[in-house]
Structure 1
């Protein structure tokens, strides 16, 4: 406490100079979140919003260099448009266009969906929103209506932004935004339209109608040719099949315009089992999962139609129900995830087949490949498949039908050694592909590697390991103000943007082959939300636990400017600060923890402390946290620090087969490190966790009396009953959690029954002496609420004090506002009673009959 404390206090002298107000629950509504950062293409304007729990949000637009700004109370969905215009929705839902030069604005009320046609500088809007059919308007930024099409239900602007397809009284029209007086009638027979889609270059459009006689249409703009898919013409169209548009079978057009893809789903027939469920241990899946899948008969399948040749075939079937179209849409990866069932991990290994979408010919390209998609990636041109197997990155050359090991001679590990769960090892994944599929970029623990697809070289692009910096690629679509068709290609010749993180700093770097990685912003704060224009102007968010998020603009000259500061009211209230510290567990493994100091901290006083646990949490030491009652698990760092508590977030390292013991070891080690250096009262320490953290909390209080009180939310408490259960959400046997994942048993229950018993909290229920609160939701589909109920009933039978809060209709995290406020308030009362000696809340009192 001592030297580090003096440094921290010196960095924030205002805390010691001005008397601050005590934050109360009544003040929480003042806090807001900084969101929706936008940057105009020329870099002259930036927009952002403050969003409040009450819904009374404010949208701001500011000049990045001049003292010129606009404030729009209730404004949302802000977007920069052509010629220094800004478009947003006001509090009444109207679309407002603001001329940023003059400050004048034009309001368009009663607008539903709208689009900016950037290349023409026009707005396309659907008026009379909420009616069965409204008017489609094409409007200038100055408010002039260039075209009005009545009775429209659907419209779609082309990728280039110069064409619009829409319906009119059931007919389908094509509008050229540069020649609005000459609309083209695509479909004259009145229909109800479900959806439409453009070819990637805007050369054609496809659409899907509604109703029992629904069909797919396809129109080529240049050729002015219209094609209709009639399922009656194709004898191989599935019997009782219906056209169906969903996320797994979206209507789409191939890049070359030759193929149209759409979904087909059979009419669902109720399965009558006579009231008897037949569970067979030889089944590929447990009965509930088998029932949900129904042999893939109910799953929508993808079809391909060649309008010019009038050919049709089903791309996916019951045999191969899953697919992934490769770039170019001439080939697809198809597979059946059930091939290698039964097994007891979450997913089975997969046999991937490469299929010609037109002919249907197939070949097996990857056998028993991991279902973990971080271990696999398809190149941007569709010529290669990268995959991780046998501790190396491989490439499959689709044209040559050959496999090549790209990293076997490097002697370098691309495995994520920080991943300590049971089961298959994790890797750091594919980062991207260079132009012409020349190289695949992959990550290791710190750096980015460029692996030539022909196997000629493997080059490490960054030097993060030497500096202790983790570099990760930022895709263009995430930081560019205007997207480009080459967003998926990593152009190393033009340089790239990297996210950079160390234990104490974060930021962004620019990289090119000559200079390597050079910092754009890199500092001991949490830096996020980076965006940059082609002119070199950039914005980002800066925050720390004691620093509410700021929006920063950086000019090409290197000058930084705070353009937006959230929660300025914080300066009037006592607030805490944080630090990250190091410690070791009993195995001398180095670990980190995050410690948050109470508001108005006085080193001469002794404070209570709440310890929040999961797996690794110390990385949140520099994240700002709004005080609020709306917490899905009831835990809120700022609520606690402003109420006079230390808050500790320790990291935990695990030994397989000993998740509970590992948690006890690491958590107590972190607490002992804090007690040795900080003014924490060792008799007033509380422990809290949710989900896996709830399990750890339950287990820890059976092993130690270190804590004055504890709270466990929605956790596992009985490893035996949980292992022998079926998940409510995925309908899979929960063995995977224990043998291959977070619960880290590593072996089946019957191979080491004692291991399961020794890590199960309910086994040691007689040892619980800590005042203990349990909570869960009756609709928790991740961890059955009966897991918490079991522990409560065990403690009841043992005559030990315990309260269980069971939220009716609540999920794994509480989403109802009233539930969130209730659990947050009850937790506060729990801590205040046991850690501060406050009066006993009424709800602690048992019933009296």
Structure 2
């Protein structure tokens, strides 16, 4: 063979090897849209079928329907919001319009009625038949039957092409095609029977849990001879239709009992121009042809000038004996004599107000719709009992709604102090649903979170002062200290805020309220709420092995633990940060048995209602959260395989790092390295921090446009080391605490030859943004810094407003995250000492600030103060203000923009890349929207 042929043959043989050695690409900003995630996985009641959606970050998703053994039954483009029928025979789902079509409609600025509409799909699991219904506004699937109801969209005038005289067209315009008021077609499908019925001009509907009836409201078109306004009920098995209430009006809150044998609703039938339109409460047991008013405005049983509310939830008790609903004062009629442009517009702030004016305005709609829980007994002569009122206006039903008592809370006369305490102190009561009697649980108002046991036999709460969990028995009215004598703390042992530590919480209750499972830091305790008798359910294995055990009931809508249940306990090793599961029977005495544990993250388990099959997602640093099915978590079947493109890109690894701070504290953080890390090279390092992040070391982090945090995947893939140190705080010293942990962690890493100590960066958002601002006033260690939504002046921020909620910021500084631990006048020096603003002359680090004009958490002017003062001092500083944006960016286009700028900024200062125009020269207002300044500036460099 000639040598030339041998040489060519050798090259051919080497091609596969060369292909394998081709370097992986670094991630870039073009990858975001197609990166996928699994959404809404579900398992059928019989455990034989699974569904899930795979959605790209932007674009069209896909619905997958499979057997639990991973045999694919259907793959449906744009399938969304899917659900199994109760009999495990059908799947119902929305079909979204194509993303490209919606995008074009938005470009053309089409009105909402003209936008592309959803469709509805129904897939038969036994036959594989797929049926689609176009132009669907909403749908409901019966909870306990394969009965489906869906509402179409309202008719639109321009879609109609009537061949009729002008007067006929006018009638259509005046009546049927009134897009704001017209109803739409309602279709009811009995899926096993294969039958359907359609009804016209429906405005609202409700299907019963057993699927035996569908109630719906009709608003008839003007002049219609065939359709009449009213409230109707359709008998699904029998096919009969019954009118329950006649006349045009507003019908709301349609509610069936559990058996679908009773129906209640609120309705008002006042003239359209009436200034006040109070509701009446209607009821039927279907023994007669119509629904009757059982409570109307002005009834003597109601408080004067009160009526049934049109906004309160209507709900039957489980046994159908009680009807819960809301009542409210009649609305104040609007004064029509006032001319809008002739009267003043102002907000009046009064120091005696329970809530600040911004809070009141933020809650205005909710307050206008506020209603107060009442109960009525339709089978006992409509006996009526008011349970709530203006004093006692928050209540909770037991999971067993047959229970005699509801738990009710009041913070009346305690609300003002929430301005600086963060939450109002409350008193709790048990209110009898049979007599209305109120039984006080705690004589002194507490900041506790009270809860009612599933069966309604006990109230449970944690008392900060006594440092113990308590129960209150409804039957005996006895208070029992459940944990005061136990040898462990049930509140956050690592609390570093100047407030009472939060309790670890409650896992679940056993059947008939026999026991409650309560968390300490590591273990779960099983406690008798009547006697306080307690055992360490996890046998002390948690504290001994530094394992944190937690539990959530995996079966949807199951409210308590059965005596024979075997629990799968989620566990994390607090030292290695690995996650896994242990198994233990609720009645067992042996220690929990290890099932699986490793460097992975699990979603909460979902278990089939009538089978032992488990559904969950599992991920790691390098493996996306894919869907798995198993019966024991040992032998598992992987159903999805998303983000195959990841293998083409340079990914990253994660490892725990430990060091000792200057004050001798043991510290932990996570170091992310590029997948192609070479210890012979030097890498720039960026520190990103927000309190403690190490528990998430094994969480999959997809590349995604950032709301303003650091995109770890993007930076690691592009040759950066990313360090996320955990920070513990000293009260009164939040700034120095960040210095203690962040700087010492960076200094420890600098000792490695592969860390480029001359090119270090820091990035933080919100609380992290504050820490970035503080750090650069204390050290010149960093070559570049990025502070998102920072507070720099605690003295001015202290009395400000969190506009997203309308509450004062004082509590944050005195009690919670900002950790000063006192008022501005009590601890003036601490406020000044921890405010970066007063040390800005020390700053030598180039810094970008993001501060948005619609930030509802941090005052926008904080970023402005930082920018204008650094500018005044001649320091290199930039401010990005995204118009109309929130504390964290919400609009995807803005997230993409900041992601590009963030990488450009750090590339320039930490890698020597050319500066972009926005960084070097800026973008004048006259070029806004025309020039983004992202291209390299001419002649730009370090």
What pairs up with 1:319-358 in 2 under 5 angstroms? 319-326=391-398, 327-328=401-402, 330-343=404-417, 344-357=420-433
Larger Rg: 2
Match of 2:578 in 1: 505
What pairs up with 1:625-774 in 2 under 5 angstroms? 625-629=701-705, 631-677=706-752, 679-774=754-849
Task: Determine if contact 2:297/2:308 at 8 Å carries over to the other structure.
Answer: no
What pairs up with 1:267-278 in 2 under 5 angstroms? 267=331
What pairs up with 1:612-623 in 2 under 5 angstroms? 612-623=688-699
Match of 1:7 in 2: none
State the alpha-carbon separation in 2 of the partners of residues 275 and 321 from structure 1: 30
Task: Determine if contact 1:110/1:129 at 8 Å carries over to the other structure.
Answer: no
* Alpha-carbon shift at residue 779 of structure 1 (Å): 0.8
State the alpha-carbon separation in 2 of the partners of residues 694 and 723 from structure 1: 17
Are residue 550 (structure 1) and residue 626 (structure 2) matched?
A: yes
* Alpha-carbon shift at residue 269 of structure 1 (Å): 7.3
Q: Measured at CA, do residues 114 and 176 of structure 1 come closer, stay the same or move farther in structure 2, by a change above 3 Å?
A: same
Task: Determine if contact 2:374/2:388 at 8 Å carries over to the other structure.
Answer: no
Task: Determine if contact 1:634/1:827 at 8 Å carries over to the other structure.
Answer: no
- For residue 201 of structure 2, the aligned residue among 144, 151, 162 is 151
- For residue 836 of structure 1, the aligned residue among 880, 899, 911 is 911
State the alpha-carbon separation in 1 of the partners of residues 421 and 724 from structure 2: 30
Are residue 36 (structure 1) and residue 94 (structure 2) matched?
A: no
State the alpha-carbon separation in 2 of the partners of residues 572 and 459 from structure 1: 52
Residues 327-381 of structure 1 show CA distances to partners (whole Å, capped at 9, x for unaligned) of: 43643444442423543211231122333356443343213443342xx321112
Q: What is the DSSP-based 3-state SS (H/G/I as helix, E as strand, rest coil) of the residue aligned with 1:699?
A: helix
Task: Determine if contact 1:628/1:636 at 8 Å carries over to the other structure.
Answer: yes
Match of 1:198 in 2: 256
State the alpha-carbon separation in 2 of the partners of residues 283 and 562 from structure 1: 57
- For residue 250 of structure 1, the aligned residue among 306, 309, 313 is 313
Match of 2:490 in 1: 414
- For residue 386 of structure 1, the aligned residue among 460, 477, 485 is 460
State the alpha-carbon separation in 2 of the partners of residues 804 and 66 from structure 1: 51
Match of 1:171 in 2: 230
Residues 387-439 of structure 1 show CA distances to partners (whole Å, capped at 9, x for unaligned) of: 21201111111222221112222232111112221212211112222222222
State the alpha-carbon separation in 1 of the partners of residues 154 and 364 from structure 2: 40
State the alpha-carbon separation in 1 of the partners of residues 649 and 841 from structure 2: 45
Q: What is the DSSP-based 3-state SS (H/G/I as helix, E as strand, rest coil) of the residue aligned with 2:431?
A: strand
* Alpha-carbon shift at residue 595 of structure 1 (Å): 1.3
Are residue 227 (structure 1) and residue 292 (structure 2) matched?
A: yes
Q: Measured at CA, do residues 523 and 210 of structure 1 come closer, stay the same or move farther in structure 2, by a change above 3 Å?
A: farther
* Alpha-carbon shift at residue 653 of structure 1 (Å): 0.5
Q: Measured at CA, do residues 727 and 213 of structure 1 come closer, stay the same or move farther in structure 2, by a change above 3 Å?
A: closer
State the alpha-carbon separation in 1 of the partners of residues 895 and 307 from structure 2: 43
Q: What is the DSSP-based 3-state SS (H/G/I as helix, E as strand, rest coil) of the residue aligned with 1:428?
A: coil
State the alpha-carbon separation in 1 of the partners of residues 364 and 202 from structure 2: 39
Task: Determine if contact 1:617/1:651 at 8 Å carries over to the other structure.
Answer: yes
State the alpha-carbon separation in 1 of the partners of residues 628 and 84 from structure 2: 18
Q: Measured at CA, do residues 163 and 299 of structure 1 come closer, stay the same or move farther in structure 2, by a change above 3 Å?
A: closer
Task: Determine if contact 1:432/1:440 at 8 Å carries over to the other structure.
Answer: yes
* Alpha-carbon shift at residue 652 of structure 1 (Å): 0.2
Q: When you count strand as a share of all residues, which structure comes out higher? A: 1
Residues 650-675 of structure 1 show CA distances to partners (whole Å, capped at 9, x for unaligned) of: 10010111110001110012212322
TM-score by length of 2: 0.81
Gaps of 5+ in 2: 1-16, 98-117, 156-178, 219-227, 270-276, 925-942
Match of 1:784 in 2: 859
Q: What is the DSSP-based 3-state SS (H/G/I as helix, E as strand, rest coil) of the residue aligned with 1:72?
A: strand
Paired residues, what number? Answer: 824
Aligned alpha-carbon RMSD (Å): 3.1
Q: What is the DSSP-based 3-state SS (H/G/I as helix, E as strand, rest coil) of the residue aligned with 1:702?
A: helix
Gaps of 5+ in 1: 1-12
* Alpha-carbon shift at residue 771 of structure 1 (Å): 0.5
Q: Measured at CA, do residues 45 and 85 of structure 1 come closer, stay the same or move farther in structure 2, by a change above 3 Å?
A: same
Residues 212-260 of structure 1 show CA distances to partners (whole Å, capped at 9, x for unaligned) of: 36322122257888431443342464666565444xx322233443333
Q: Measured at CA, do residues 89 and 777 of structure 1 come closer, stay the same or move farther in structure 2, by a change above 3 Å?
A: same
Q: Measured at CA, do residues 372 and 223 of structure 1 come closer, stay the same or move farther in structure 2, by a change above 3 Å?
A: farther
State the alpha-carbon separation in 2 of the partners of residues 226 and 474 from structure 1: 42
- For residue 28 of structure 2, the aligned residue among 24, 27, 32 is 24
Q: Which moved more, 1:333-342 or 1:280-289?
A: 280-289
Match of 1:603 in 2: 679
Residues 626-648 of structure 1 show CA distances to partners (whole Å, capped at 9, x for unaligned) of: 2233x211521111112211111
Are residue 134 (structure 1) and residue 184 (structure 2) matched?
A: yes
* Alpha-carbon shift at residue 109 of structure 1 (Å): 2.2
Match of 1:439 in 2: 515
State the alpha-carbon separation in 2 of the partners of residues 183 and 152 from structure 1: 14
State the alpha-carbon separation in 1 of the partners of residues 841 and 506 from structure 2: 49
Q: Measured at CA, do residues 239 and 728 of structure 1 come closer, stay the same or move farther in structure 2, by a change above 3 Å?
A: farther
- For residue 148 of structure 2, the aligned residue among 98, 123, 138 is 123
* Alpha-carbon shift at residue 692 of structure 1 (Å): 0.7
State the alpha-carbon separation in 1 of the partners of residues 362 and 84 from structure 2: 46
State the alpha-carbon separation in 2 of the partners of residues 149 and 120 from structure 1: 21
